[in-house]
Amino acid sequence: MILLNRRQVLLGGAALAATLAIGAPAFAQVKDRPVKAAFVYVGPIGDFGYSFAHDQGRKYLAEKLGDKVQTSYVENVAEGPDAERVIRQLAQDGNDIIFATSFGFMNPTLKVAKQFPNVKFEHATGYQTAPNMSAYNSRFYQGRAVLGTIAGMMSKSGKAGYVASFPIPEVVMGINAFTLAARKVNPKFETQVVWVNSWYDPAKEAQAASALFDQGADVITQHTDSPGPLQEAEKRGAIAFGQAWDMTNFAPKAHMTAIVDQWGPYYVSRVQAVMDGTWKRSDVWLGMKEGEVEMAPFNAAMPDNVKAAAQKIVDETKAGTFEIFTGPIKDQSGAEKIAAGTVVPDADLLKMDWYVEGVRN
């Protein structure tokens, strides 16, 4: 227990008043000391998936800005009240900017942001912002269109298995982008979805992949975070793709490529903005063009025409001339959902709750 005497309380009050006075010009530059940046992760950094990729971003930040930044992180933070406690603690500890990296941290972050107007907050994959709270997200689906192209060209059975976590818009978007791209090269292509109702359960993910192979799939893709499905594909001599990071190690033969989440450059730009005093609320959804979504090196075993087709999707996406969610798009019943030439707007993508033709769920 901390005992305060009256003098300390008075001093504290004076300090507080001084802080408030200095704090009045919001978001002043941080020059004379390192910027303190904290990260909050939903999973363990050792998951080799989503939280691992965010932590790679933190390391990138530390490497780029050197001693101008001081980073820290808290892993395994449960979504809900616990998150609020952690985020508030980080704000009290004098962090200048706090990155809360999971959808479920949105409301706790907003609440704490209102209590700490001089701290900057950044929330990943949500939709709420405040004067001192930004939102950022990544267009993972652009990478899934590349995977779908490869799957459509390389699959012999024309049947893909999709190991999926939870039916939320981000996952549905991925399933649709993958299937649309595959059907462009093989109109009969089908994607069978298996929901494992978990972000991370290596054994169950591997068993789901195994069941999909048993049922005739010869290519697997996943929206869960472990390399389990890849290892199963390696055993079966099938092909598969990494999730969130290059997983070649786990399946040198089966691993065709992977979606790599590159959060690092965004983290550098935001911390740099804090240093320069130019930080402002923003709401961004970056993708391949900005380097936030990257593809891992293509497997050498991929035929040249497949490599070329996959690279073409990457290049055109970066150039802005290719957008996977461009009509005509039919839904599962075969009815036209998006008219020819229409591009699905971001707002609709973010609440996507229907499947394209060829998805079996």
Partner 1 sequence: MNEALVVAIIVAIVTSATPILIAALGELVVEKSGVLNLGVEGMMLIGAVTGFIVSVTTGVPALGALGGMAAAAAASLIFAFLTLTLTANQVATGLALTIFGTGVSALAGASFVGITTPIFGPVFPASLSTDPIWRVLFGYSPIVYASFALTFAVWWFLKHSRAGLVLRAVGESDASAHSIGYPVLKVRYCAVLFGGAMAGLAGAYYSLVLTPMWAERLTAGRGWIAIALVVFASWRPGRLLLGAYLFGAVITLELQAKAAGWSLFAPEFLTSLPYLATILVLALISGRARTRSAAPACLGKPFRASA
Which stretch in 149-157, 180-188, 195-203, 271-279 sits in contact with partner 1 by CB under 8 A? 195-203
Shorter beta-carbon distance to partner 1: residue 47 or 122:
47
Residue 60 binds to partner 1 (criterion: CB under 8 A): no
Cα(122)–Cα(281) distance, rounded to whole angstroms?
Answer: 9
What is the rounded CA–CA span in Å between residue 310 and residue 261?
A: 18
Residues paired with residue 164 on neighbouring β-strands, in sequence order: 195, 223
CA nearest 154: which of 304, 270, 316, 313? 304
The reply to whether 89 sits near partner 1 by the rule CB under 8 A is no
- Quick one: 201 or 331, whose CB is closer to partner 1? 201
Q: Is 242 in the site for partner 1 (CB under 8 A)?
A: no
Residue of 109, 137, 231, 317 interacting with partner 1 (CB under 8 A) = 231
CA 317, CA 324: separation in Å to the nearest integer?
A: 9
* Angle of the 50-65 helix axis to the 264-276 helix axis, nearest 10: 40
**Cβ proximity to partner 1, 148 vs 227, nearer residue:** 227
Within 13 A of 213's CA, how many CA atoms are on the CB side? 21
Among residues 35, 217, 239, 306, the one that binds partner 1 under rule CB under 8 A: 217
Residue 197 interacting with partner 1 (CB under 8 A): yes
Tally the C-alpha atoms within 13 A of residue 91's C-alpha that lie toward its C-beta: 24
State which residue, 55 or 292, has the beta carbon closest to partner 1: 55
Measured from the Cβ of residue 188, the count of other Cβ atoms closer than 10 Å reads 10
Q: Indicate whether 91 belongs to the interface with partner 1 (CB under 8 A).
A: no
Binding residue for partner 1, selected from 70, 207, 272, 326, defined by CB under 8 A: 207
Span 134-193, contacts to partner 1 by CB under 8 A: 161, 192-193
Q: Using alpha carbons only, give the angle 180, 169, 217 rounded to the nearest 5 degrees.
A: 45
Is the Cβ–Cβ distance between 123 and 100 less than 8 Å? yes
Tell me the window of 60-68, 92-100, 110-118, 226-234 that interacts with partner 1 (CB under 8 A).
226-234
- How far is residue 164's CA from residue 175's CA, in Å, rounded to a whole number? 9
Least distance to partner 1, CB of residue 356, Å: 16
Place of tokens 């065709």: 256
Looking at 195, 285, 298, 322, which residue binds partner 1 (CB under 8 A)?
A: 195
Positions touching partner 1 (CB under 8 A) are 44, 46-48, 52, 161, 192-198, 200-204, 206-208, 210-212, 214-215, 217, 226-228, 231, 235, 249-250, 360-361
